[in-house]
């Protein structure tokens, strides 16, 4: 939920203040912590939280802390005017994204430590379901609520709703594999620091094709990242209402993405990662052309169902393939830091694409922007055959 509340939904809220597209795009830089979370990921693995560690364990204690911090940051944003209190608003936004970035790493690590490797594809399909339920709540749900309440009231409600995730952490169990993988003894604190901060990167760079993997993280999801914050603004400019966008782009699109995620997880077991990643990216890129047709047709609601349905279904397939492939590139011993590294590179793409998208729309219009979205799919398509598909 914090991801969308500092991205697309935040963009719609900011537009109500009269901000231009370029200014809204610059708010995408709030997601910078997603690109550097590997810097503090070793702390999540090696540093224990006093008191909480004894009662909850390493993973759950950190999850509780970052969730409470994210909730507090969102509540603070709700009580601030983003125009009159810009600096404080941005600081609170960074607090939210730092917490959300840490939560992302911890949840991926938890998934890797509790599931067997043959279950990662299916597990990621279910993860897409949970992810999209949060998107529905903080996307369509927020737009529905904004029709009847102020944006400040909407953010307060959604912030408090995140306490459901906090209760989920309290009732789930600490992964057994964490205790087994982190029972090393060290001669000195220097050795411990060296193991925590250098060990994960040395292990990752020992595998063949690690540079190609990092490039792949940057370019594979370019179309989705470029659509990002600008997609609901594009639909608003075409003449669609908040309710229509919620019904089609959020609710209907949610179902399409969940279906695509589950299909993708099943197909990974049948056909392997390479075929799913290649054909998923190619077909998703072609599907983005539907937005160009939508721009010509204007506020044509039936065709919007087609556009969103096809694009979101194929996006679900690529999401499942992409995130589950990340797990195959990591060693469970250093899961948190290595996953943070990979997701940081993926997050860097999203962070940089938001300002770029705002700039292109502001100065060139929607048609050149949508053509750019389509063309951005091809680097990832061609790069699939340059990445390894198993650790040595």
Each residue's pLDDT tens digit, 204-251: 888 888 999 999 999 998 888 888 768 888 888 888 887 888 788 777
The 3-state DSSP class for residue 392 equals coil
pLDDT in tens, 19-63: 777 777 777 777 788 878 888 888 887 788 888 877 888 888 999
Phi/psi for 357 (5° steps) reads: -60, -45
Q: What is the mean pLDDT of residues 354-382?
A: 88
> How large a percentage of the chain has pLDDT more than 70?
94
Does the pLDDT value for residue 157 go beyond 90? Answer: yes
- pLDDT computed for residue 67 by the predictor: 93
CA distance 57 to 202: 27
Q: What is the mean pLDDT of residues 264-285?
A: 87
* Strand intervals (E) in the chain: none
Instruction: Say if residues 324 and 267 touch (Cβ distance below 8 Å).
Output: no
- pLDDT computed for residue 85 by the predictor: 80
Q: What is the mean pLDDT of residues 77-104?
A: 86
Name which residue leads in pLDDT, 12 or 220.
220
- pLDDT computed for residue 392 by the predictor: 42
CA distance 221 to 27: 20
Give the burial string for 177-215 (b: 16+ CB within 10 Å, else e).
Answer: bbeebeeeeeeeeeeeeebbbebbbebbeeeeebeebbb
With both helix axes pointing from N to C terminus, report the angle between 120-138 and 86-114 in degrees, rounded to the nearest 10: 150
Kindly report the CATH number that applies to the domain delimited by 2-200+210-386.
1.20.1250.20
User: Quick one: pLDDT band at residue 127, thresholds 50, 70, 90?
Assistant: confident
CA distance 381 to 385: 8
Does the pLDDT value for residue 346 go beyond 50? Answer: yes
This prediction's pTM: 0.73
User: Quick one: pLDDT band at residue 72, thresholds 50, 70, 90?
Assistant: very high
Most confident of 99-103, 121-125, 183-187, 227-231: 99-103
Domain boundaries, the chain: 2-200+210-386
């Amino acid at each position: 939920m914090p991801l969308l509340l500092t991205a697309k939904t935040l963009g719609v809220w900011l537009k109500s203040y009269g901000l231009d597209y370029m200014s809204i795009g610059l708010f995408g830089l709030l997601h910078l912590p997603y690109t550097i979370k590997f810097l503090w990921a070793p702390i999540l693995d090696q540093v224990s939280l006093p008191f909480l560690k004894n009662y909850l364990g390493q993973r759950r204690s950190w999850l509780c802390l970052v969730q409470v911090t994210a909730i507090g940051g969102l509540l603070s944003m709700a009580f601030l005017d983003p125009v009159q209190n810009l600096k404080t608003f941005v600081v609170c936004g960074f607090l939210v994204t730092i917490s959300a970035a840490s939560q992302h790493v911890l949840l991926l690590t938890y998934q890797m430590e509790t599931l067997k490797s043959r279950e990662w594809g299916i597990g990621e399909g279910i993860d897409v379901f949970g992810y999209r339920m949060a998107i529905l709540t903080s996307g369509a749900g927020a737009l529905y609520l904004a029709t009847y309440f102020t944006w400040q009231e909407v953010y307060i409600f959604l912030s408090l709703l995140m306490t459901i995730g906090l209760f989920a952490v309290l009732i789930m169990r600490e992964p057994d594999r964490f205790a087994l993988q982190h029972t090393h003894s060290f001669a000195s604190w220097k050795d411990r620091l060296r193991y925590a901060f250098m060990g994960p990167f040395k292990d990752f760079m020992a595998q063949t094709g690690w540079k190609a993997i990092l490039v792949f993280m940057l370019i594979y999801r370019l179309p989705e990242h470029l659509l990002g914050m600008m997609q609901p603004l594009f639909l608003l400019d075409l003449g669609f209402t908040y309710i229509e966008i919620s019904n089609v782009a959020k609710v209907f699109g949610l179902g399409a993405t969940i279906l695509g995620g589950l299909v993708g997880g099943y197909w990974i077991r049948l056909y392997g990662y390479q075929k799913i990643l290649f054909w998923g990216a190619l077909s998703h890129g072609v599907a983005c052309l539907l937005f160009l047709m939508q721009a010509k047709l204007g506020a044509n609601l039936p065709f919007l169902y087609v556009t969103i349905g096809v694009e979101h279904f194929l996006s679900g397939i690529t999401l499942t393939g992409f995130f589950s492939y990340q797990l195959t590139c990591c060693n469970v011993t250093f899961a948190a830091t290595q996953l943070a590294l990979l997701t940081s590179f993926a997050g860097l793409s999203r962070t940089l694409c938001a300002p770029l998208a705002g700039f292109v729309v502001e100065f060139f219009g929607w048609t050149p922007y949508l053509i750019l979205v389509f063309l951005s799919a091809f680097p990832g398509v061609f790069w699939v055959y340059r990445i390894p598909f198993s650790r040595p």
